[in-house]
Amino acid sequence: MPGEVGTNDDHWRSAGERIQNLLDAMSAGGPAVRERAEMLVHEVADLYGSALSRVAASVPAPTLDRLAADELVASLLLVHGLHPHDLQQRVADALERVRPYLGSHGGDVKLLSVADNVVKLQFAGSCQSCPSSSVTLEFAVEDAIRAAAPEIEEIEVVPAEKAEKVIPAASLFSKVHANGTSWHHVPEIASLTAGEVGGFAVNGATVLACRVGDELYAYRDRCPACLSSMAGAVLHRGTGASPAVLRCPRCRSHFDVVHAGASLDSDTHLDPLPLLMRDGVLSVAIPAGVSG
């Protein structure tokens, strides 16, 4: 499991934002200053791009594949059109990376096609049964695809029960984007041992996380039955398809941790939160406005 992200990693991840902030600051000097600043950035980018192109041309394909697995190298290769993998493979690889997370919540995704910078997907399992889980898992998929293939213009989802009907990504993910969901590094969650439950303060919200075997799960710290905090909750061994059950210490409601937090007593469910490796560090996505 990951440890803390190094200072150098944090520095390059925010480079794009710093460059944009500098360009915006230069706008105060007038249009001419802004234009010259942009020209300078383009010249430097072209210079490094030309050098990177020569390096890539001299590196054996297996070596270039390994280099492209690095987050920073991959981003530079993409910017300069030098990534060794085509769009189809990069999207497929992104889905493979996120598929274990989907499976941990009882969901899955199938890549139907990649054409004209449009990706068509089909979700299964919890991705289409529980509304909260659906939004959570689909957001994780979109995030993975956008990172691996920034040139993608649209993601369309074809429902499994009606394959001819297409749901535009803009509509599908509107709830997530409207809520201002953002990612936050939480390497401390990785320290949980098997069967352990913990509460973690993240961006003003309390994240309830637990480990079942090798898998980590994260939920909003609120019992949907009594609307109280789940602080003090413990994991119990379930039966059959429910290997781990989280019990609210106040109202005694039971929730299936492995299957999107579904209640074993009613039709309610815990609110799952995406918990994924991003940029080499464990991260959780928190919707704006979620607190407590």
CATH of the domain at 260: 2.102.10.10
Distances (CA, A) of 289 to 178, 179, 189: 11, 7, 22
* Residue-level pLDDT at 133: 55
Cβ atoms of 233 and 249 closer than 8 Å? yes
Residue 188 predicted with pLDDT over 90: yes
Establish if 292 belongs to a structural domain.
Answer: no
The answer to whether residues 281 and 188 belong to one domain is yes
Residue 144 lies inside a defined structural domain of this protein:
yes
Segment 192-211 mean pLDDT: 92
Q: What is the structure's pLDDT at 111?
A: 93
Domain's final residue, options 178, 204, 220:
178
Q: What pLDDT shows up at residue 101?
A: 78
Specify whether 55 is located in the same domain as 69.
Answer: yes
Structure tokens at 227: 């609307």
Whichever domain contains 102, its CATH number is 3.30.300.130
Q: How far apart are CA 157 and CA 118, in angstroms?
A: 11
Residues 75 and 120 in one domain: no
Per-residue pLDDT, 172: 42
Q: How confident is the model at residue 98 (pLDDT cuts 50, 70, 90)?
A: confident
pLDDT value, residue 92: 93
Same domain, residue pair 15 and 75: yes
164 and 94, same domain (yes or no): yes
Question: 231 and 174 in one domain?
Answer: no
Query: Would residue 18 count as lying in a domain?
Result: yes
Residues in CB range of 283: below 8 A, 6 or more apart: 183, 184, 185, 186, 275, 276, 277
Please state the rounded mean pLDDT for residues 257-282.
83
Answer yes or no: do 187 and 281 share one domain: yes
Laid out side by side, the sheet with 275-278 consists of 182-185, 281-286, 275-278
Single residue among 157, 178, 199 that ends a domain in this structure: 178
Measured between its terminal Cα atoms, the distance across the chain in Å is 27
User: Once rounded to an integer, what is the mean pLDDT over residues 174-189?
Assistant: 70
pLDDT category of residue 130 using cuts at 50, 70 and 90:
low
Domain span including residue 234: 183-286
Name the pLDDT band for 1 (thresholds 50, 70, 90).
Answer: very low
Domain boundary among 19, 54, 79: 79
Weakest-pLDDT range from 156-170, 179-193, 228-242, 262-276 = 156-170
Q: For the chain, how big is the Rg over CA atoms in Å?
A: 22
Both tokens assigned to 118 = 């449009």
Q: How many domains does the chain have?
A: 3
Q: Name the average pLDDT for the chain.
A: 80
- Whether residues 191 and 278 share a domain: the answer is yes
Q: d(Cα 51, Cα 258) in Å, to the nearest integer?
A: 48
* Together in a domain, 166 and 219: no
Tell me the pLDDT band of 223, cut-offs 50, 70 and 90: very high
42 lies in some domain: yes
Which position has the higher pLDDT, 16 or 239? 16
Whether 281 and 197 share a structural domain:
yes
Q: CA–CA separation, 205 vs 193, rounded Å? A: 22
Looking at the structure, do residues 264 and 201 belong to the same domain, yes or no?
Answer: yes
Q: What are 15-59's pLDDT values in tens digits?
A: 777 888 888 888 888 888 888 888 998 898 889 889 989 988 898
**pLDDT-above-90 percentage for the chain:** 23
